Structure 1
Amino acid sequence: MTHKWLLALFAFFPSFALAHAGQQGLILLLPTQIYILSGGLAVVLTVVLAAFMKHRFLKTLFTPHPIAPLPAARQIFTSLASTFAFFAMIWLGLFGPHDPLANLMSLGVWTGVWIGLVLLCGIFGNLWAWLNPWSGIFALLAGKDPSPPFQLPESIGHWPAIALLMGFNGFGIASAAATDPQLLAILGCLYWMFTFVMMMLFGAETWLQRGEFLTVFIGLLAKISPFQRGETLNIGCPGWRIAQSPTPSLSLALFALILLGTGTFDGLNETFFWLIQLGINPLDFPGRSAIVPQTLTGLIVVNIGLCVIFYLCVWLTAPAKQTGELFRRQALTILPIALAYHFAHFLPSFLVDGQYALVALSNPLNNGADYFNLGPFFVTTGFFNTTATVRVIFLSQASGIVLGHILAILLSHRVASDFFATRRAVLISQIPLSAFMIGYTILGLWLLATPKGA
């Protein structure tokens, strides 16, 4: 066991735990050390509290309760409406305003879907199942998921979704043209057609659940929601569906970890720290196009590093024959952290771009129309200029990160209780993972306040 604990020391060394958190246009002139210490202590206390919880209490905590029966509902109409809205955005991207802050294609992708819809699904459940722009039109043209001409091999797992997720995030993080409306419209149209063809070839349900990265991404984060809609409306502690999930495939477990790793790098690559490592003066940033290879390499390395470190944390204390299964189960417990970082990172930009999106909805062609009767409307960033409002934003981000880690720790203990018979065994098994999460909390809060240069 000695060699395992030596590896643990390297795994938990702070220089490796590069957490992802916030995004801001100024340096927070607040006593952030106090918040970082307080957040870290809150997570530590959660670890201690969870260590004394009985197996029965942990299982009860993550057991849902049926609220009311629900009528059967068809998603075809909402999906068709979403398809219409999507192609309206495509048209606006091609022929509408060239300014990304006035075009609903850019604002719809990055503000409406990537921030707003993802967060709503994390809170209220899988709304994407009702809103994806393929299911409705597929049902109209092909019927109820007819037998496809080809079978997607089980060995492929969720690797297509992983490849598409990495490609999408690489484009969003590294490309200087990531918000260009025309380019987004072209890529969005091509992706819609690609997905529809793959649904025809391999079956709608199969491709959406294993190959379409947004469906897999949002489906995982929706497991955090306390709500589940089925024959009845069920409600429970946030994350109860993670606690009760069957063991995922290795590729789905890696997909969950990559969500966190990508969020980590998305925050890291904007910092002075990262730019200095690249030999770039943060105050004279040359632009994204000058560091595309370094950015993509960093994205890949951080994701690989996170997966390896997380595996080591499980392997150090797992029963030899159950290491793989426990790793796959525990990988899902970090989903609350991934959602928390998503919220913390994008909150400042959502506060601003959400205003631009409202204006664009009222005036989609940027021709002076005012369908929402907004009148003279000026987008404001004034809340970044006063200590009081910045404090509220920072505390909201920090609270989200701490709560995400607390929930992840409780879920991790709940999953461990399925593999270890006694509280002592659960506690020992959680030492590496708890240290990992505590370190991630502290560095995540630190990154909220660290200066950004990209």
Structure 2
Amino acid sequence: MLGVACALFVGTALAHSGSLGGSRQDLSVPQWLVLMTGGGAVGASFLLASFVTDRSFLRAVHDSERGLGSPVRPLVVIGRIGGVVGLVGVLVTGLFADPLGLTQPLRNLAVLVVWVGWWAGFSMTTYLVGDTWPVLNPWRTVASVLPSLDRSLPERVGSWPSVGLLLALVWLEVVSPVADDPTLLGAVVLAYTVFTVAGAAVFGTETWFSRVDPVSRVFAAYGRVAPLTVEDGRVRARVPGMALSEASWLSGRSDVAFVVALLWVTTYDGFVATPTWRGVVTPLVEAGVPAPLLYPLALVVGFVLFYGAYRLAARSGKRAADSLLTTDEVARRFAPSLLAIAAGYHVAHYLGYFLSLSPALLGALSNPFSPPPPLELVLPSWFGGVGLTFVLVGHVLAIWVAHTAAFELFPSRVQAIRSQYALTAVMVLYTMTSLLIVSQPAIEVPYL
């Protein structure tokens, strides 16, 4: 049976694959129907949550946890060693790709581990299972054994550096050939290693990885969607997404901006590989606007629009609830709900990509310096509907989390419901944007 399955679904990966961008399948239903159904589902979930739940029911669901025991220390040690070994493997097979004859992206361990195994596969585990990055993080492991100056990072700086770095990393991924050039990828990873370890040595590991390092902050945020967490050295199970109803880990505007940036960059990464984006940039490029300028401009403008829409929704929610709370407090309290949307879209965007290229990854892992010809898993046509399902699940979960937060934030049931009107409208807009992207076939990023 296994041989039959392989014969049906696995084929030789195309040598001209180019960028390792995510793959999507065409849908057999009209796009307008997908968008209207998705937006309607999110709106209906808001009405259902508003009229059939109360505070005691919400609290019972969110407080349900179960202890699963203590992590085994040998596993932690193995995880840390594995993270460092993985980093060394990426640097070696990336920086020395030419002498090793590993220049083809789908036969290079560095390319496959970073984009398929780590950014796609591992990222999904952080919100589907739990965040193990603090253990696996090789930069944190290396920095922890080095002396630190323990300089203080001014409070006014907040977490804004992580916002800027996250936007910069996604811009670099989109506009450069770092996704399919092993040597360039190795150089980028080396530069990031030096920068991160040096920063942790100056400001201390706790400060750096909790306030500055964008990778650690992405996985920590995603981990709050997951059903497993570690508290006081013990693994605990909870209902997926329920930890998002608690917002004490967000301390100011910069933390809220980071959550919005995470949602936006996940959307942006998919949007620039759609026919819609090509239709937008083609007349601009033909009019003489440099294509490389359009990508950072769209990245920044899109973030400003996403963040502005969210702030406007928070302000409108405060006014609708007739509350004395500040807009900043309302924005902070509802921000974690956006992570469910980001996680839903991320898995929709990367699940097919991860599955299709996992045979090539396994081949490279089995023989890093002489991998076999890359294989690609051919996904069935109906798999496109799986992505849409994850998008909707993420948005419905976000509505539930926001509903719970509203009941905890406002004393009156009427206030709690009214406070969500504008936020629900924004979530419907986010939903339809995500579905617009997922429902389109992936193309090469134009003009780059």
Superimposed CA distance per residue, residues 285-329 of structure 1 (whole angstroms, 9 cap, x where no aligned partner): xxxxx7221011101100110000011011012135421111012
Aligned to 1:354: 358
Deviation at 1:80, TM superposition (A): 2.9
1:248 aligns with 2:251: yes
1:123 aligns with 2:128: yes
Amino acid across the alignment from 2:375: V
Aligned to 1:234: 236
Q: 1:157 to 1:117 in 2, by over 3 A?
A: same
Matches within 5 A, 1:357-396: 357-366=361-370, 379-380=375-376, 382-383=378-379, 389-391=380-382, 393-396=383-386
Amino acid across the alignment from 2:251: P
8 A Cα contact 2:227 2:238, kept in partner = yes
8 A Cα contact 2:24 2:384, kept in partner = no
Aligned to 1:18: none
Amino acid across the alignment from 2:381: V
8 A Cα contact 2:317 2:423, kept in partner = no
Amino acid across the alignment from 1:243: S
* Higher deviation after alignment, 165-174 or 313-322: 313-322
Q: 1:195 to 1:122 in 2, by over 3 A?
A: same
Structure 1 SS opposite 2:251: coil
- Mapped to 2, the partners of 1:365 and 1:86 lie a distance apart of 16
8 A Cα contact 1:271 1:451, kept in partner = yes
Q: 1:381 to 1:138 in 2, by over 3 A?
A: closer
- Mapped to 1, the partners of 2:126 and 2:385 lie a distance apart of 23
Structure 2 SS opposite 1:278: helix
* Higher deviation after alignment, 42-51 or 173-182: 173-182
Residue 336 of structure 2, aligned match among 332, 339, 345: 332
Deviation at 1:119, TM superposition (A): 0.5
Amino acid across the alignment from 1:198: G
Structure 2 SS opposite 1:67: strand
Aligned to 2:118: 113
Deviation at 1:186, TM superposition (A): 1.1
1:400 aligns with 2:396: no
Structure 2 SS opposite 1:325: helix
- Mapped to 2, the partners of 1:78 and 1:317 lie a distance apart of 44
* Number of residue pairs aligned between Structure 1 and Structure 2: 410
Aligned to 1:16: none
1:91 aligns with 2:81: no
Amino acid across the alignment from 1:203: G
Q: 1:69 to 1:177 in 2, by over 3 A?
A: closer
- Mapped to 1, the partners of 2:28 and 2:303 lie a distance apart of 31
Structure 2 SS opposite 1:275: helix
- Mapped to 2, the partners of 1:217 and 1:90 lie a distance apart of 22
Amino acid across the alignment from 2:262: L
Percent identity, please: 27
8 A Cα contact 1:336 1:407, kept in partner = yes
Aligned to 1:260: 263
- TM-score between the two structures when normalised by the length of structure 2: 0.85
Deviation at 1:185, TM superposition (A): 0.7
Aligned to 2:205: 204
- TM-score between the two structures when normalised by the length of structure 1: 0.84
8 A Cα contact 1:79 1:137, kept in partner = no
8 A Cα contact 2:162 2:211, kept in partner = yes
Aligned to 1:81: 82
- Mapped to 1, the partners of 2:437 and 2:158 lie a distance apart of 34
Superimposed CA distance per residue, residues 89-133 of structure 1 (whole angstroms, 9 cap, x where no aligned partner): 100112230111111111111111111111101122111011000
- Mapped to 1, the partners of 2:78 and 2:376 lie a distance apart of 37
Superimposed CA distance per residue, residues 355-382 of structure 1 (whole angstroms, 9 cap, x where no aligned partner): 22111112312366xxxxxxxx762454
Matches within 5 A, 1:115-264: 115-142=120-147, 148-230=149-231, 231-246=233-248, 247-264=250-267
Deviation at 1:451, TM superposition (A): 4.4
Deviation at 1:205, TM superposition (A): 1.0
Amino acid across the alignment from 1:418: E
Deviation at 1:448, TM superposition (A): 2.0
Q: 1:203 to 1:25 in 2, by over 3 A?
A: closer
8 A Cα contact 2:113 2:361, kept in partner = yes
Aligned to 1:374: none
Q: 1:26 to 1:418 in 2, by over 3 A?
A: closer
Q: 1:243 to 1:73 in 2, by over 3 A?
A: farther
Deviation at 1:84, TM superposition (A): 2.0
* Higher deviation after alignment, 85-94 or 417-426: 417-426
Structure 1: which 5+ runs fail to align?
A: 1-21, 285-289, 369-376, 384-388
Q: 1:248 to 1:60 in 2, by over 3 A?
A: farther
Amino acid across the alignment from 1:341: Y
8 A Cα contact 1:66 1:232, kept in partner = no
8 A Cα contact 1:314 1:326, kept in partner = yes
Amino acid across the alignment from 2:200: M
Aligned to 1:436: 426
8 A Cα contact 2:364 2:371, kept in partner = no
8 A Cα contact 1:80 1:137, kept in partner = no
- After TM superposition, the runs of 4+ consecutive aligned structure 1 residues lying more than 6 A away are none
8 A Cα contact 2:315 2:327, kept in partner = yes
Aligned to 1:371: none
Structure 2: which 5+ runs fail to align?
A: 1-20
